[in-house]
Structure 1
Amino acid sequence: MIVYGSSLSPYVRKTLAFGAEKGLVLENKVPRPGEPDAEFLACSPFKKIPGFKDGDFQISDSSAIITYLEALHPEPNLIPTDPRNRARAIWFEEFTDTIVVAAAGPLFFNRIVGPKFMGVTGDEGACVKAERETIPPLLDYLERIVPDAGGFLLEDRITLADLAVASPFANLDHLSFDLSAWPRTKAYVEAILARPSFAERVAKEKRLLGAVA
């Protein structure tokens, strides 16, 4: 099974962590920026990452890939079977994918992706707005609901909810975003990102970013 896309994307990182928590071996291929990759485009004709291939089955979008992996390898189940907790897991993934990433994305793009990988000057005004206006209310929400460090959002075990919520915080860590005003959130995401499913990959990302001018 192949996952296409850089794990600097929270969506790719989440997908790879999900597979790792299931004990699956997922090959990660990163298409070269600006160079069309026929294999990737076959999986993702609209260039949405991650792309995914399992034999003759091809699809894109992290939620679609995760749904496939959960159905193909139901144990350990990372999407709860209890109706209420299943709904909560999907909510946390949706909250992260469409709200948190949208809020933090401009910060990561304008301070890392644009300057380091595309040679363009970032929009610092957009960064300041994200830091002061867009991101704090989301952190305030998480601060009220996350468990103590070492705990989990659902069923006292790791689930998709934790993997989805923690993934974009690796990007904020790459930005040295100050989470001191949200200590419960800080401790919770640090504990999840310290799991083997995340830790080695995030460390590789740090090395990559350190090597890029």
Structure 2
Amino acid sequence: MIVYGSSLSPYVRKTLAFGAEKGLVLENKVSVPGSPDPEFLACSPFRKIPGFRDGDFQISDSSAIITYLEALHPEPNLIPPDPKNRARAVWFEEFADTIVVAAAGPLFFNRIVGPRFMGATCDEAVAAKAENETIPPLLDYLEGLIPTSGFLLEDRLTLADIAVASPFANLGHLNFDLSRWPRAKAYAAAILARPSFAALVAKEARLLGG
């Protein structure tokens, strides 16, 4: 099974970590910037990452890939079978994918991706707005709901934790100050310290010169 895309993307990182927590070996292929891999384009004609291939099956989008992996390898279950907690897991994934990433994306792009990989000038006004206005309310939300168990659902690791923790790696690469949110900071650090994430995050830090 092949996952296409750099793990600097929270979506790619989430997919690779999910597979690792399943005990799966997922090959990760990263295209050279500006030269998309034809195999990736076959999986993802609209260039949405990650792309995915398993034999003759190919698809894109992290949620679609994770749904496939969960159905193909149901144990250990990472999407709770309980109807309410399954719905909550889907909500937390949506929260991470469409709300947190949307808020943090402009900061990560302007401070890291644009200047380092695309020769773009940082739009500091956009970055500062994300840092000071858009992201903090989301961290306030998380700070108020993280259980003492350190897991969002069922006192165990689920897709909810994998999805929510993934964007925190990007905040870490940005040296984002999380001191106002100690519970969220400790929660994310613990999830990102798991072997499924740790090697990915370390590799990304080396790529960024950290």
TM-score range, shorter chain: over 0.9
- Measure how far apart 1:126 and its partner are: 0.4
- Measure how far apart 1:146 and its partner are: 1.1
Aligned partners of 1:147 and 1:188 also within 8 Å: no
3-state SS of 1:145 partner = coil
What is aligned with 1:95? 95
Q: C-alpha distance in 1, partners of 2:164/2:52?
A: 21
Question: What letter matches 1:132 in structure 2?
Answer: N
Provide the alpha-carbon RMSD of the alignment.
0.8
Residues 1:113 and 2:106 are matched in the alignment = no
3-state SS of 2:208 partner = helix
Q: C-alpha distance in 1, partners of 2:118/2:127?
A: 17
What is aligned with 2:160? 161
Q: C-alpha distance in 1, partners of 2:196/2:20?
A: 5
Q: C-alpha distance in 2, partners of 1:60/1:144?
A: 33
Task: Tell me the TM-score normalized by structure 1.
Answer: 0.97
**Aligned residues: percent identity?**
83
Within 5 Å, which residues of 2 pair with 1:5-154?
A: 5-148=5-148, 151-154=150-153
- Measure how far apart 1:147 and its partner are: 2.3
- Measure how far apart 1:36 and its partner are: 2.7
Task: Tell me the TM-score normalized by structure 2.
Answer: 0.99
Question: What letter matches 1:164 in structure 2?
Answer: A
Residues 1:3 and 2:6 are matched in the alignment = no
3-state SS of 2:156 partner = coil
What is aligned with 1:173? 172
3-state SS of 1:67 partner = helix
What is aligned with 1:198? 197
- Measure how far apart 1:197 and its partner are: 0.3
Cα deviations across residues 148-168 of structure 1 (Å, max 9, x unaligned)?
Answer: 3x6211111100000000000
Aligned partners of 1:3 and 1:53 also within 8 Å: yes
4+ residue segments displaced more than 2 Å: none
Aligned partners of 1:80 and 1:86 also within 8 Å: yes
3-state SS of 1:80 partner = coil
Q: What are the ranges of 5 or more consecutive residues in structure 2 without an aligned counterpart?
A: none
